[in-house]
Amino acid sequence: MSRARLLQGNEACAEGALYAGCGFFAGYPITPSTEVAEHMAKKLPKRGGVFLQMEDEIAAMAAVIGGSLAGCKAFTATSGPGFSLKQENLGFAMLTEVPCVVVNVMRGGPSTGVPTGPGQSDIMQCRWGTHGDHPSICLTPAYVQEIFSETVRAFNLSEKYRTPVIVAFDEVVGHMREKIEIPEAGALSVVDRTKPICPPEEYLPYDDSQGDVPPMANFFEGYRYHVTGLNHGPDGFPVNASPRIHTDQLRLLRKVEANRDDIARNVEYRLDDADVAVFAYGICGRSAKAAVDLARAKGIRAGLLRPLTIWPFPEAQVAALSARARAIIVPELSLGQILFEVERCSKGRCRVEGIHRVDGDPIHPAQILARIQEAL
Amino acid sequence: MLKGKQQIVEKYEEWETDKVRIRIIPRYCKGCEICVKLCPTQTLGLELFKAKVVDAGKCVACMYCEMRCPDFAISVEKKEAIQ
Amino acid sequence: MAFDYQRYIRGGKLPHIWCPGCTYGTVFKSLLRAIDAQKLDRNDIAMVSGIGCASRLPGYVDFNTLHTAHGRALVFATGLKMAKPDKHVLVVSGDGDATAIGGNHFIHACRRNIDMTLLVFNNYTYGMTGGQYSPTTPYGLSASTMPYGNVDFAFDIPSLARGAGATFVARGTAYHVPALDRLIVAAMRHKGFSVVEIMNACPTAFGKRNKFKSPTDLLLWMKESFVPVEAFEKLPPEKTQGKLPMGILHSREGAPEFCEAYFAMVERLKEKEGTGKP
């Protein structure tokens, strides 16, 4: 029987992690995500899990990777400034293919910005924050219930594809309290990393001959293997100036690109016959839904495409939408970032207009409704 | 260990006296001369950047060379240890 | 029988990459003898490194090995250790890796007194990148980024470690090898955060720039500059000029250790809850 609770978004994130089997959290205090850490600090020790507050966000990210290598499902939670600090180690986890989850509760940026206000201007950093070519999976829940389920999904995707997964939601969604149904154990699927079946001396930690996601042994279980941030061969040892580097980089990207249908999730609301569509996620997605209803009440055929997976970007859905809608409106708590992706995928087939607000308050439904009406 | 325990048997040069047996692996030696210079009895010398025993009789098996070789290139065994 | 290093080295990895005369190989052999002396199971050992010449060491050893980002070895290792507190975690780091970019993690690992051993390979320079000065380069000496003589001031790593809370602090050198074996064993056996600064010779990037004509000259400089701490403390002040103590410089047994304190809290909660749920 699922349990109804009134939970804050950040708490729901922590509960989602616990539901997914997480036994390791490392973090550092930062508004507006500290409640995730505080919740884990209360819950993990009671379950024999590891809670670590580290000396900075770099250390927290490193400890999470260490915890995961030792067999724990591990995650960290932060906000803009901490997310910037974690980028190098996030890239390390991508190249060494160590499952982990990074939660970014977004606030006004850049710099110290508006710590207690919502923001969505980190979204490109969630895609390209760390240096080099790399895959990126970033989930964008907009409701407290969704934060719970998307956090579970983040762990599952990170274990299944041996790659870090980012969960990004803005401060408003993170701090708001809503009723939530916590599913009973087993109701939502929980995925664990594939372990090797070969004997230790034959184990190759990055052997892709059987598929793009090599099985992963945990440290200290007899598979004494090597993990390095240098480009490496199937046996985990450094290689340089070798075709292997190119093919391996392609494999790292392919793990996400070739599995979009498994990874991508979008919410379509009254979109089928929409003349004017809104493309929005997070708190903007909620305002957009209200605006769509207001428009429909005025006889305007409006609809909403709300990605739960912002990276990989829903290119096909936006392309199809641009072929049938007259305009796509993109409200963002930034000066326009996802706007460029929507424009890229629309290829000029329809008008694409952004609504931008970075004054520390969410975009209101009325603002979106006004632009829907103008777009007719 | 990967692909089974590969028992590496490197080619080595060997000098033997009634007191001691000295082995040097040319492939590992990088000619840093630490062993040559720190050998208290000038038993060792450098030839074409490789350590060699120039006079095995002088060796007193003090193990300085093996202790300080950074490259696993030289090993010394006292005779009574070998029987 | 001569010590069989091959038992601990991954097949086909020798000769290693370190330059002719670099003493990292000597310290590496000492480390293997120290581990062998403790009869540890290789599956229970993790070796973690950051970036730099010393950081390549884990690649050679047949343990669970992790080569991380510059300066971050200690915090990756903290994650490993907390997840598996009964395992042995060994961190190797250069002077720059540990005390420059890694300085914040260095002092916090000491403060936390988490049960692991940090070996700081101090060769007074950034060797991998060609000889820039580091937080331990002696005042006045030359480096590629201090071509006119270093005007920056150096850490004393043991004092830094002790001041930050490490409960075992030692200094060894690549010249005094038998003593180094013993120091590494003592450090690994100590319960709590152990730091061993190991003075090393970098002939290529440091030695050549500072009038050390050969690797052996660097080793002989070490022989002259480092005095066992018991003897050092008896030296009159004027005799200690240019000399530093080596050996076990600080050791506090029985201090609370972080993993133990954390999991004792977990046990207390379990008893209180009575659930005993894992």
Please state the domain extents for chain A. Answer: 4-181, 265-375
Minimal Cα distance from B9: which residue of C?
C6
| Type of residue numbered A43 | K
The pLDDT tens digits for C125-164 are 999 999 999 999 999 999 999 999 999 999 999 999 999 9
Helix (H, G, I), strand (E, B) or coil at A277: strand
Give the pLDDT of residue A128.
98
Chain A interface, mutation test: which of B2, B3, B5, B6, most A Cβ atoms within 10 Å? B2
Whether B4 sits inside 8 A of A224 (CB atoms) is no
Task: Give the distance, in angstroms, between the CA of residue A279 and the centroid of all CA atoms in the same chain.
Answer: 17
Q: CB of B2 within 8 Å of any CB in chain A?
A: yes
Q: Which residues pair with C248 in a beta bridge?
A: C170
Smallest CA–CA distance, residue A162 to chain C, in Å, is: 17
- Cβ of B27 within 8 Å of Cβ of C15? The answer is yes
Q: What is the ipTM of this complex?
A: 0.96
Taking only the tens place, the pLDDT of each residue in C77-132 is 999 999 999 999 999 999 999 999 999 999 999 999 999 999 999 999 999 999 99
Choosing among A224, A230, A240, which should be mutated to test the C contact, i.e. which has the most C CBs within 10 A? A224
Close Cβ partners of A173 (under 8 Å, ≥ 6 residues apart): A9, A118, A141, A142, A143, A144, A147, A282, A283, A286
Locate B41 and state its tokens.
Answer: 């009895």
Task: Give the C-alpha separation, B38 to C177, whole Å.
Answer: 13
Q: At what angle do helices A34-43 and A9-19 cross, to 10 degrees?
A: 40
Nearest CA among A32, A57, A151 for reference residue A100? A151
Q: Is the peptide bond before A312 cis (omega within 30 degrees of 0)?
A: yes
Q: Do A235 and B2 touch (CB under 8 A)?
A: yes
From the list C15, C177, C216, the residue facing B28 with the nearest CB is C15
CB contact under 8 Å between B32 and C29, yes or no, is: no
Interchain CB distance below 8 Å, B72 and C25: yes
- The Cα–Cα gap between A88 and A103 comes to 16
Q: Fold match between A4-181 and A265-375?
A: yes
Contact C79 A68 (CB under 8 A): yes
Report in angstroms the alpha-carbon separations of A5 from A94, A182, A239, C216: 35, 7, 52, 71
- CATH hierarchy code of domain A265-375: 3.40.50.920
> Looking at CA atoms only, how far is residue A163 from chain B in angstroms?
24
> Which band of pLDDT confidence, cut at 50, 70 and 90, is reported for residue C51?
very high
Identify whether the C-beta of residue C192 lies closer than 8 Å to the C-beta of residue C113: yes
Residues of A in contact with C77 (CB under 8 A): 66
A239 chain-C contacts, CB cut-off 8 A: none
* Interface contacts (B, C; CB < 8 Å): 75
Please name the residue that has the structure tokens 């996030």: A90
Cβ within 8 Å, pair C80-A56: no
Looking at this protein, which amino acid is placed at residue C101?
I
Q: Please judge whether C78 and A70 are an interchain contact, meaning their C-beta atoms are less than 8 angstroms apart.
A: no
Amino acid at site C269? L
Q: Which residues of C touch A (CB under 8 A)?
A: 10, 42-44, 46, 48, 51, 58-59, 62-69, 72, 75-84, 87, 104-105, 108, 262, 265-266, 269-270, 273, 277-278
What tokens were used for B9?
Answer: 């048997």
Task: Retrieve residue A43's tokens.
Answer: 């819950």
Dihedral angle at the C-alpha atoms of A304, A305, A306, A308, nearest 10 degrees? 160
Q: Residue B25, SS3? A: coil
What does the radius of gyration of chain B's CA atoms come to, in whole angstroms? 13
Residue of C44, C265, C277 with shortest CB distance to A45: C265
Residues of B in contact with C222 (CB under 8 A): none
- Strand residue runs (E) in B6-73: 13-16, 20-24, 44-47, 50-53
Using the 8-state DSSP alphabet, how is residue A164 labeled?
E
- Distance to chain B for C239, nearest Cα, Å: 26
pLDDT value of position C121: 98
Q: Kindly tell me if the per-residue pLDDT of B5 is higher than 80.
A: no
- Under an 8 A CB cutoff, do B8 and C6 touch? yes
**Residue numbers in chain A where pLDDT is lower than 50:** none
Assigned token pair, A80: 């803009």
Residues in chain B with CB shorter than 8 Å from the CB of A226 are none
The count of CB pairs under 8 A between chains A and B is: 12
Q: Is A114 helix (H, G, I), strand (E, B) or coil?
A: strand
Burial of A126 (0-12, 13-18, 19+ CB in 10 A): buried
How far apart, in whole angstroms, are the C-alpha atoms of residue A4 and residue A180? 6
| Closest residue in chain A to residue C66, using alpha carbons only | A227
Tens-digit pLDDT profile for residues C243-277: 999 999 999 999 999 999 999 999 999 998 865 55
Interface mutation target, options C40, C72, C97, chain A, most CBs of A under 10 Å: C72
Q: Which pLDDT score is estimated for C1?
A: 63
SS3 annotation, chain C: CCCCHHHCECCCCCCCCCCCCCCHHHHHHHHHHHHHHCCCCHHHEEEEECCCCHHHHHHHECCEEEECCCCCHHHHHHHHHHHCCCCEEEEEEEHHHHHCCCHHHHHHHHHHCCCEEEEEEECCEECCCCCEECCCCCCCCCECCECCCCCCCCCCHHHHHHHHCCCEEEEEECCCHHHHHHHHHHHHHCCCEEEEEEECCCHHHHHHHHCCCCHHHHHHHHHHHEEEHHHHHHCCHHHHCCCEEEEEEEECCCCCCHHHHHHHHHHHHHHHHCCCCC
Residues across chain C: 278
Are A304 and A292 spatial neighbours (Cβ–Cβ below 8 Å)?
Answer: yes
Distance separating the N- and C-terminal Cα atoms of chain A: 47
Q: Do B34 and C215 touch (CB under 8 A)?
A: yes
Whether the CB of B6 is below 8 Å from some CB of chain C: the reply is: yes
Question: Would you give the end-to-end CA distance of chain B in angstroms?
Answer: 31
Taking contacts as CB-CB distances below 8 angstroms, the residues of chain A near B3 are: 201-202
Q: How far apart are the first and last CA of chain C?
A: 48
**Distance from the C211 Cα atom to the nearest Cα atom in chain A, whole angstroms:** 34
Cβ separation A237–C68 shorter than 8 A = no
Q: Which of B7, B72, B77, B80 to mutate to test the interface with C (most CBs of C within 10 A)?
A: B72
- Bridge partners, A169 (sequence order): A105
Q: Evaluate whether C27 touches C181 at the Cβ level (below 8 Å).
A: no
C-chain CB neighbours of B1 within 8 Å are 10-11, 62
The token pair at A164 is 């870090």
What pLDDT score was predicted for residue A241? 83
CATH topology of domain A4-181: Rossmann fold (3.40.50)
Question: Does B7 contact A at CB distance below 8 Å?
Answer: no
Kindly report which listed range (B7-11, C71-75, C98-102) carries the lowest average pLDDT score: B7-11
Q: How high is the pLDDT of residue B4?
A: 45
**How deeply is C141 buried, as exposed, middle or buried, from its count of CB atoms within 10 A (0-12, 13-18, 19+)?**
middle
For the residues B2-23, what does the mean pLDDT come to? 81
- Record: contact B77-C216, CB cut-off 8 A: no
pLDDT tens profile C171-188: 999 999 999 999 999 999
C77 vs A248: CA distance, rounded Å: 26
What is the predicted pLDDT for the residue at B38? Answer: 97
Interface test with C, best of B33, B67, B77, B78 (most C CBs within 10 A): B67
pLDDT for the residue numbered C277: 52
Q: Say whether pLDDT at C40 is over 60.
A: yes
The predicted model gives C205-221 an average pLDDT of 96
> Which of A101, A81, A82 has its CA nearest to residue A150?
A101
Map out the domains of chain C with their CATH numbers.
5-253 (3.40.50.970)
- Tokens encoding A267: 């919410």
Touching subunits of C (3+ CB pairs, under 8 Å) are A, B
Mean pLDDT of B57-74: 96
- Stated as kind and residue range, the H or E segment containing A297 is helix A282-297
Residues of chain C contacting residue B12, judged by C-beta atoms under 8 Å apart = none
Residues of chain C with C-beta less than 8 angstroms from the C-beta of A228 = 59, 66-67
Tell me the three state secondary structure of residue A190. coil
Measure in Å the smallest separation between the Cα of C143 and chain A Cα atoms: 27
